[in-house]
Amino acid sequence: MKNFSTSHTLFSRNLSLNLDGRIMDLSTPCIMGIINATPDSFYSGSRLPDPATAVETAREMIDQGAHILDVGAVSSRPGAEEVSEQEEMERLSPVLEALRNEFPEIPISVDTWRSGVSRRVRESFGINMINDISAGQLDPEMFATVAELGIPYIMMHMQGTPAYMQEAPDYANVVDDLLQFFSERVHKLRKLGVNDIVIDPGFGFGKTLEQNYRLVRELHAFQMFELPLMAGLSRKSMIYKTLESDPDHALTGTTAAHMAVLIQGANLLRVHDVQAAAETVKIFQKIVDSPVRGV
């Protein structure tokens, strides 16, 4: 299993996750492949509600270098309508069952903000991680549930809800405000005994174009928490709007943004295009690992 090792010279307790007894070392950046069991995600290429198609795509992602699969069943694009918990489970269950049967060893994260869904997918499919776009704000039971389940938790910052988050994002200082937000949320999780926490600043979730790029530029500030940092930039509007393009033509811009966040300290990239991300990480590692001579 790639990146499950404690022998790497850069291994750090603070940059690792315990996935059911297996240690994932994030001191070398890892890649999370996106599997959307939805009919309406903003990027059409990630819509994989059919289990057989999801398995085929997951196999390709794993072969290309994905370390984790992130399965979601509710679109969080700006203006997205809410889906009931029952419908979310009906979308998730066949895809998770197929992935578990085909790839029993690959770590699986589920992208949900619901504690009830988190509990059910853990009990039914043994998923290894929860990825919550609301950092526990949309479901007050989420933190206690994650603590009880004893699995790693990705908490993302989002101002507002997906339906309204892009109407009028407002911050006194976007970096300072998010640092305060995560300080409070990490403290609450620690009190509940949750130690495996990943921080995601939530690019595109209740931020203007300028605020998103400031977060890219100052992502290193979030290293103060000594926790892994995840960046979800793949084909988002902050990229394709800058390029005056669309999601289908945003891969080159995504790759450029991925290199920028890696330089600023990102440990986990959540992506649609695994091969391009894996190649970006490889080049990044070559840069940082190359010995300095003749200086």
Known catalytic residues are: 236, 270
CA neighbor of 46 nearest in space, from 218, 224, 261, 254: 254
Q: Is 177 helix (H, G, I), strand (E, B) or coil?
A: helix
CB under 8 Å to 216, separation ≥6 — which residues?
Answer: 203, 233, 257, 260, 261, 264
Residue 35 backbone phi and psi in degrees, to 5: -120, 105
Q: Which residues pair with 269 in a beta bridge?
A: 31, 231
Q: In the beta sheet, which residues pair with residue 35? A: 71
Q: Burial code of 244-265, b = ≥16 C-beta within 10 A, e = fewer?
A: eeebeebbebbbebbbbbbebe
Residue with tokens 């996750």: 17
Pairing, β 153-156 against β 108-111: unpaired
CA distances from 72 to 21, 137, 140, 191, 287 (A): 24, 18, 20, 28, 34
Q: Burial code of 175-205, b = ≥16 C-beta within 10 A, e = fewer?
A: beebbebbeebbeebeeeebebbbbbbbbbb
Q: How far apart are CA 103 and CA 121, in angstroms?
A: 16
Q: Name residues whose C-beta falls within 8 Å of residue 185's C-beta, 6 or more positions apart in sequence.
A: 135, 136, 155
